Amino acid sequence: MSRFPDSKLTPGERLQRKGQESKPLLRNLIVIGASAGGHRALVEILKYFSVDTPTAMVILLHVPLGSAYSLKESLGRFSRVPIIDVKEQETVQEGFILVPPAGRSATFSDGLIRVEEDSPPRPVSTINRLFMSAAQNYGERVIGVILTGLLKDGTDGLRAVHQAGGLTIVQDPEEAEYPDMPTNAMKELPVTFCLKVGRHWPRSGTAGS
């Protein structure tokens, strides 16, 4: 097998064989959407999340477009799973958490996650767009998660995950700092689990089973 030098490649590119597209087997994909109060909830999830769980994870937290806020920096010290900033595109691979830039959504295709350039000026539908693309590309392997936040971004995306046969999870609105997003999701579709974050977070398992 030919190998690339590591010095100038992204983590995703290091998995690719020279002259070929690499499409590693992905057993599960967790997509998490959160807004107001989301950082605290994410910390509680990642503290207990096992590095051995057979999944890739993508986290999208509502923040202003172009903000210097970095999820990788703010969550990295709480997570045993390595976090990758997706600047333009990365390979979706198990054992990593991927985070799009502040205020932007992302889509999936050909084993890659790609940052959208035309995200709206306010993060009103970025979670929906991410979840819908995940459902379209990974079907029953997707686990969609909606955490604390205002309004209802994520409801339509979670519906797409449900219709594709994936698992749907919402944070228990009674413990959510801002219950709008999980409450609206539960009003409009059946969810697989309504859970408290942290120790109740599923550590393993397969979507669609």
Tell me the CA distances in angstroms from 137 to 8, 80, 101, 132, 133, one per residue in order. Answer: 29, 27, 21, 9, 6
| Active-site residue, 62 included | yes
**Catalytic-residue membership of 156:** no
Tell me the backbone φ, ψ of residue 143, rounded to 5 degrees: -115, 110
Question: Do residues 7 and 14 touch, judged by C-beta distance below 8 A?
Answer: no
Q: Which residues contact 12 (CB under 8 A, 6 or more apart)?
A: 84, 89, 90, 91, 92, 93, 112
List 35, 79, 105, 119, catalytic entry: 35
Distance in angstroms (rounded) separating the CA atoms of residues 174 and 181: 12
Active site residue 153: yes
Q: Give me the catalytic one of 39, 62, 105, 133.
A: 62
Question: Considering 79, 105, 119, 153, which one is annotated as catalytic?
Answer: 153
How crowded is residue 82: how many other Cβ atoms within 10 Å of its Cβ? 12
Measure the CA–CA gap between 12 and 14, rounded to whole angstroms.
Answer: 5
> Active-site positions?
35, 62, 153
